Amino acid sequence: QQQVKQSPQSLIVQKGGISIINCAYENTAFDYFPWYQQFPGKGPALLIAIRPDVSEKKEGRFTISFNKSAKQFSLHIMDSQPGDSATYFCAAWGAGGGNKLTFGTGTQLKVEL
C-alpha cells in the first residue's frame, strides 16, 4: 500500500517558470512533511519541511502549500533555474507510519534554458 502518492513523475519547466510537484497522503496521523532534493550520484538532502498546523511555508524560492482537509501538499519552485534540475521526493512522518519517513516515488525535474 503506497501511503504517499507523488505526481508528476517527470516535469520540464522553462528557466524562470514555476515548478509544481504534488503529493497526497492517506494516513491522517502523519504530522511532518519534508521535501528532499536529490542530484545524480548523491543522497537526498532536506530542502524544506512543514507541519500541519500551518498552510504554507516559504524559504527563498521554495514554498510548501499544505491542505490538511484534502490530505495534500505541494512544492512550488519559483523562478526555476537550471541548477534546480534534480529529483524531488516528498515524504511523511508520524504516528502510524512507524519509525520511518515514508517517501513518494519522486519527480524528475528538468529546467531548460
Partner 1 sequence: GAGVSQSPSNKVTEKGKDVELRCDPISGHTALYWYRQSLGQGLEFLIYFQGNSAPDKSGLPSDRFSAERTGGSVSTLTIQRTQQEDSAVYLCASSKDRGSPLHFGNGTRLTVT
User: With contacts defined by CB under 8 A, how many residues of the chain interact with partner 1?
Assistant: 22
> Per DSSP, what are the bridge partners of residue 37?
45, 88
Q: E-strand spans in 8-113?
A: 10-14, 19-25, 30-38, 45-50, 56-59, 62-67, 72-77, 86-94, 102-103, 107-112
Nearer of residues 23 and 111 to partner 1, judged by Cβ:
23
We find the least distance from the C-beta atom of residue 42 to partner 1, in angstroms, to be 5
| Binding of residue 113 to partner 1 (CB under 8 A) | no
Would residue 112 be called left, alpha or beta, if left means φ above 0 and alpha means ψ between -120 and 50 degrees? Answer: beta
Which residues from 31-90 bind partner 1, rule CB under 8 A? 32, 34, 36, 41-46, 49, 89
We find the least distance from the C-beta atom of residue 4 to partner 1, in angstroms, to be 8
Q: How far, in Å, CA of 16 to CA of 1, rounded?
A: 37
We find the least distance from the C-beta atom of residue 41 to partner 1, in angstroms, to be 7
Nearer of residues 13 and 92 to partner 1, judged by Cβ:
92
| Binding of residue 103 to partner 1 (CB under 8 A) | yes
Are the beta carbons of 95 and 46 closer than 8 angstroms?
no
For partner 1, the binding residues (CB under 8 A) are 6, 32, 34, 36, 41-46, 49, 89, 93, 98-106
